[in-house]
Amino acid sequence: SGRCGGTGELEEISRHPCYNEEAHRYFARMHLPVAPACNIQCRYCNRKFDCVNESRPGVVSEVLTPEQAAQKAVGVAAQLMQLSVVGIAGPGDPLANADRTFETFRKVRSRVPDVSLCLSTNGLTLMEHLDDIEELGIRHVTITINAIDPDIGSDIYSWVYDSGIRYEGREAAELLISRQLAGLKALCERGVLCKVNSVLIPGVNDTHLPAVSRTVKSLGAAIHNVTPLIVAPGSPYEQEGRRAPRPKELHALQEICGGEGMKIMRHCRQCRADAIGLLGQDRSADFTWEKIE
Ligand code: CLF
Ligand code: SF4
């Protein structure tokens, strides 16, 4: 399988700034904010802002149409020589906006053929899109998995909306988790390089994350990114008085997860859904419409 690491795969990992710590000094990513809707409610999220699974709260990205996004990718690729990855990560869930997301990827694939495509999702509908992902040659997919135990998950997700039905409580978490793990396994079997993001939520999933790490490793995940909770203003967690982990707590958890043999990402910058540039810098202001045209 693709997981075992042929030279092609090594090349793909080595040019991806999130999968490879060294690469993030030399290779840039851009995000295309084409996906406004979401099909779940995480308790740390306030829907007025970008998806907290891959970004910091309090940020509002302007949504682009697929055509606008593709034009932007062409413009940025021409000017930003370090660009190696074009990702879709929000501002909602990309697969809850599947038509817009895949139309954008198709346009970028044909007009900027030398960049890798990257997708980040909560994973609820991944199983419906395996063929789309494979046909488009999307080689990097991130799934945010905060729990594998539905009892813990029910403290993280308020509801899940699927095929016209709204689920709550344990049932919602159970559905989401089963879809995430099935999607992860299926993608890994197809040779897609999967990253798992987990939000470290003190008092909720801190002692549970090593079990998450072991499970996603056994299903084939290439790398685990444990990010600190940042409570969005106006989110349910803010009302409950939840707090971010201290840096010491985060590092300790990354050590434990890494100690079990999993590759750990330690350089995540919790990007915005419209970020452009090297990971540490956000140059989206340098690539406004006026400046690209
Ligand atoms: Fe973007 Fe995410 Fe792809 Fe990277 S970001 S969709 S995997 S190209 Fe990277 Fe940013 Fe952290 Fe995400 S630093 S938030 S891990
Ligand atoms: Fe918010 Fe969670 Fe949906 Fe992301 S997946 S937009 S964090 S509710």
Q: Rounded mean pLDDT of 124-144?
A: 97
Centre of ligand 2 to C-alpha 43, Å, is 9
What is the model's pLDDT at position 4? Answer: 34
Q: Taking 90 as the threshold, does the pLDDT of residue 15 lie above it?
A: no
**Distance of alpha carbon 168 from its chain centroid, rounded?**
23
Query: Which of 269, 271, 276, 279 to mutate to test ligand 1, by most ligand atoms within 8 A of the CB atom?
Result: 271
Pick the residue whose CA is nearest to atom 8 on ligand 1: 87
User: Which atom of ligand 2 is least distant from the CA of 144?
Assistant: 5
pTM of the model as a whole: 0.93
Ligand nearest to the CA of 45: 2
- The ipTM is 0.95
Size of the chain in residues:
293
Q: For residue range 261-277, what is the model confidence (pLDDT) as tens digits?
A: 899 999 998 888 888 98
How far apart, in whole angstroms, are the C-alpha atoms of residue 111 and residue 74?
7
Ligand 1 contacts (CB < 6 A) are 18, 29, 31, 54, 85, 87, 89, 118, 120, 140, 142, 195, 225, 268-271, 279
Q: For residue range 150-194, what is the model confidence (pLDDT) as tens digits?
A: 999 999 999 999 999 999 999 999 999 999 999 999 999 999 999
Ligand 2 contacts (CB < 6 A) are 38, 40-42, 45, 51-53, 92-93, 122
- The fraction of the chain above a pLDDT of 90, given in percent, is 72
